[in-house]
Amino acid sequence: MSRFTRIIALLALVAFTVTSQLAAQATTKSASASISAHIDGALVLTTTQNMAFGQHFTNSGVILSNSIPTSAAWSFSITPGTTISVTFTVPSTLAGTGGGTMAFACGATSANVSASATPGQTGNPSTGFPSIVIGGPPGTGAGTIVVGQSGPNPSDACSIDPSTATPFRDYSGSLVATITVL
């Protein structure tokens, strides 16, 4: 092989290597993304009281929970300074054993949420509480939710209407409180 041929072969090899490396750089790229998480303490929500209206006659008229008195209540705890929303699932009727329904409703000011270092808020269970900041230190993050006992007025209570019920039956339903961390 002549010297000229060897130089050409060497230049061709160098050109091939550089071209291959450039091609590899142009078609392969890497990038990294960071991963992060913020962990709060545990959210605890517990039913502490069920709403029990007792025994009534079909001609008793509308019975208000604040006249019994009865209410549904929950306790909760979460890291102080956390923002939460509280929503409710409120049935419009209670189901009777063996069939039938009885009207059930909650007033526009029948719900209350309070927590340590957080002033109590009264509101409508139908709309819930979209944003509540649970007081920071010195608060503990412990709180209560009550539906049916926020004051003496009919709007502060929940109600049953025995005139809509079939007699001689027990009626029940579920009032559900849900806390969402925002």
Provide the residue-wise pLDDT of the chain in tens; the chain has 182 residues.
Answer: 676 666 666 555 555 565 555 555 568 888 989 898 867 678 999 999 999 999 999 999 999 999 999 999 999 999 888 899 999 999 999 999 999 999 999 999 999 999 877 788 999 999 999 999 988 777 788 999 999 988 899 999 999 999 999 999 999 999 999 999 99
- What residues have CB less than 8 Å from 101, skipping those under 6 apart? 93, 94, 95, 164, 165, 171
Beta-bridge partner residues of 115: 118, 143
CA 92-93-97 angle, to 5 degrees, is: 160
According to the model, what pLDDT value does residue 8 have?
A: 66
For residue 173 the two structure tokens come to 């339903």
Rg of the chain in Å (alpha carbons): 33
Task: Report CA torsion sign: 7, 12, 17, 23.
Answer: positive
CA 132-106-177 angle, to 5 degrees, is: 45
Beta-bridge partner residues of 74: 47, 145
Report the distance separating Cα 35 and Cα 42, nearest Å. Answer: 22
According to the model, what pLDDT value does residue 26 have?
A: 63
According to the model, what pLDDT value does residue 16 have?
A: 57
Of the candidates 76, 78, 180, the one whose C-alpha atom is nearest the C-alpha of residue 131 is: 180
According to the model, what pLDDT value does residue 6 have?
A: 67
According to the model, what pLDDT value does residue 88 have?
A: 97
Beta-bridge partner residues of 144: 75, 114
Strand ranges of the sheet holding 83-89, from the earlier edge strand across to the other edge: 129-133, 83-89, 176-181
CA atoms within 13 A on the CB side of 17: 6
Would you list the domain boundaries of the chain? Answer: 49-181
